Structure 1
Amino acid sequence: MITHTFLEFEAYASAVGDADLKMVLPRIDKPRWEISEFHVDEFHLQFGSEWSGNIAEGVTRPDGRILFIPLHGRHHANGMPLAENSVFVMNASSEFTISVQEPHDWCSVFLPIESALIPSNRPDSRTSSTYSVELEDQTVAKIRWLLTQLHDSIQCNPEILKKSAARSAIKDDLLNVCRNVTSANQLPASTTGRPPLSRDKVIRALRDLMATHSHECLTIEDFTQSLDISERSLRNVFLEYYGMPPRKYLMIQRLNQVRNVLKAADPEETTVTAVAAHFGFWHFGRFAGAYHKVFQESPSTTLYRGCQPC
Structure 2
Amino acid sequence: MNVGQPKHLSRFPAKTDLTHQEFWRGLPTLQAEAVLLGPGRLEYKMLQVTGRDLLIFRSKVAPKMASTIVPHPDWVVLMVPVDWHGDYVFNGQVARPFDVFVSGGPDGYSTTGEKRHNLALGVRKSSLKEACANLSGRYIEDVALDDQQIALGAAVGTRFHRRILETIAASLEKSLGSGKFALDAVVENDLFSEIANLIMAETIEQNSVSSINLDPVRVVRRAEELFEDRTTNPPSIADLCKAANVGTTKLHLCFNEVYGVSPIAYLQAKRITQARCTYLSAEKVPPSVKDAALSFGFTHSGRFAKRYRYFFGEYPSETLNKR
- TM-score, structure 2 normalization: 0.47
Q: TM-score, normalised by structure 1?
A: 0.49
